[in-house]
Amino acid sequence: MKVLLDAATQEAALRADVVAGLTAARKWLPPKWFYDARGSELFERITELPEYYPTRAERAVLTAHAADVARHTGARTLVELGSGYSTKTRLLLEALPLTSFVAMDVSPTALEAAAERIAADHPHLRVDSVVGDFTQHLGHLPGGPGRLVAFLGGTIGNFEPADRARFLAGVRAALEPGEHLLLGTDLVKSPRVLVPAYDDAAGVTAEFNKNVLRVLNRHLDADFDLDGFTHVALWDADHEWIEMRLRARWPMRVTVPAVNLVVEFTTGEELRTEISAKFRREGVEKELTEAGFTLDHWWTDPEGRFALSLARARS
């Protein structure tokens, strides 16, 4: 396992994000801090919930078109960004004529578990794990013959537009002309479908959302009262994204000793923890083109809920 993001570096990044986000006029925290071992497990549970359609929809697209991806790319090296437990990736591993697989994620626990399973199931593959942040470490990805970078799950939606542009440009810079990006994007649809996907009846997403506070309590000696916050999921029609927030149920004074910070919350004040942008084909194609890609193929599930874009790095 290659470690580009060690514990000390992650801790420094967490501290910087906490100071920046909790002192902002509208408080925020980036969603990457959900994903300690518990957060990764909770997200795997979310993907199995009846309300959470994206995983099933994306799996349907992969099942139908993994062979098409193999035919159009001939990729021998698959690189998965934000791989987590690499659950859906198995459909690509079985379809592509691969010699190597590279998984990058900030969670070493998820990476180790995924690498062990994949190595056992595909003994012919060279399996490499990279503990890293795909917003910082794309230039450190190993090379290989005919690489295909997969960024699945609609995770691209967690970026605001300017950050998406930087990320896609970074992926393009890491690829050689003719190599490919397979991008998963959740599509715009009725809020009646979208909102329950982020606010399930069983409360798993609420627990996942509050996990970011557990991370701060554990790593920064903060004293967040998790019962003092309510999980909120809202559809922002202007931006066409879901926002996840934590809303204070009563006035609170939270201390974060590790960064010498005291944070005041008023009743009803909200802390934004995630956006999840939803897309239309014309917008995806425009963003890929501006980043230096050509959109070669666009596939959706039968209900048109989720799309996979196969894009080629231009010269």
pLDDT block averages, 10 residues each, the chain of length 315? 84 96 97 90 94 96 97 95 78 94 85 87 91 88 87 96 97 96 98 98 98 97 98 98 98 98 98 98 98 98 98 96
Identify the pLDDT of residue 229.
Answer: 98
Q: Is residue 94 part of a domain?
A: yes
Q: Is residue 104 part of a domain?
A: yes
Q: Is residue 167 part of a domain?
A: yes
Distance between CA atoms of 161 and 283, rounded to whole angstroms?
A: 11
Distance between CA atoms of 115 and 117, rounded to whole angstroms?
A: 6
Contact residues for 269 (Cβ-Cβ < 8 A; gap 6+): 27, 247, 248
Other C-beta atoms lying within 10 Å of the C-beta of residue 190: 8
Q: Is residue 234 part of a domain?
A: no
Q: Is residue 212 part of a domain?
A: no
From residue 298, alpha-carbon distances to 88, 182, 240 in Å are: 18, 10, 20
Nearest 5°: CA angle at 55, between 51 and 59? 135
Instruction: Find the farthest-apart pair of alpha carbons in the chain and give their distance in angstroms, rounded.
Output: 58
Output the pTM of the full model: 0.94
Distance between CA atoms of 200 and 143, rounded to whole angstroms?
A: 41
From residue 168, alpha-carbon distances to 114, 138, 145, 296, 299 in Å are: 25, 10, 21, 16, 19
Q: Is residue 76 part of a domain?
A: yes
Q: What is the CATH number of the domain that holds 116?
A: 3.40.50.150
Buried b (16+ CB within 10 A) or exposed e, 24-44: eeebbbbbbbbbbebbbbbbe
- How many separate domains does the chain show? 1
Distance between CA atoms of 40 and 188, rounded to whole angstroms?
A: 26
Q: Is residue 121 part of a domain?
A: yes
Domain that includes residue 116, residue range: 53-190+278-313
Q: Is residue 269 part of a domain?
A: no
Identify the pLDDT of residue 89.
Answer: 86
Sequence-ordered alpha helix ranges (H) in 23-160: 37-46, 53-73, 89-95, 108-121
Q: Calculate the CA 122 to chain-centre distance.
A: 25
Identify the pLDDT of residue 85.
Answer: 65
Identify the pLDDT of residue 186.
Answer: 98
